[in-house]
Amino acid sequence: MYAVIKTGGKQYRVAAGEKIKVEQIPADVGSEITLDQVFMVGEGESVKIGTPVVAGASVKATVVSHGRHDKIKIFKMRRRKHYQKHQGHRQNYTELRIEAISA
């Protein structure tokens, strides 16, 4: 069984037992959270598609850890103008383990 969920402005295809990294969620490590924005639930050949969400569907997940992604380097330059700008960015994330999908 799998589902398509929305969290942090992005959509993820998840299945029970998977670990995913999503945008940071303010929850303690080890706590269980419920994701109720489920757009699609599928099992084998049968698929339920919501309009926009599937009524009564939810995904239970456990917070495994919090962390930061690798650094992304941003470099801006204007040729012949003696202008260079260096910048870096590290995005925060929350790692979730998908426990159960209920439709």
Residue-level pLDDT at 64:
98
Among 36, 99, 88, which Cα is nearest to 64's? 99
pLDDT reported for residue 17: 96
pLDDT of residue 58: 96
Q: What is the pTM of this model?
A: 0.86
Dihedral of the CA atoms 57, 23, 72, 81 (nearest 10)?
Answer: 100
Give the pLDDT of residue 103. 85
Could you read off the pLDDT of 34-87 as tens digits, one per residue? 999 999 999 989 999 999 999 999 999 999 999 999 999 999 999 999 999 999
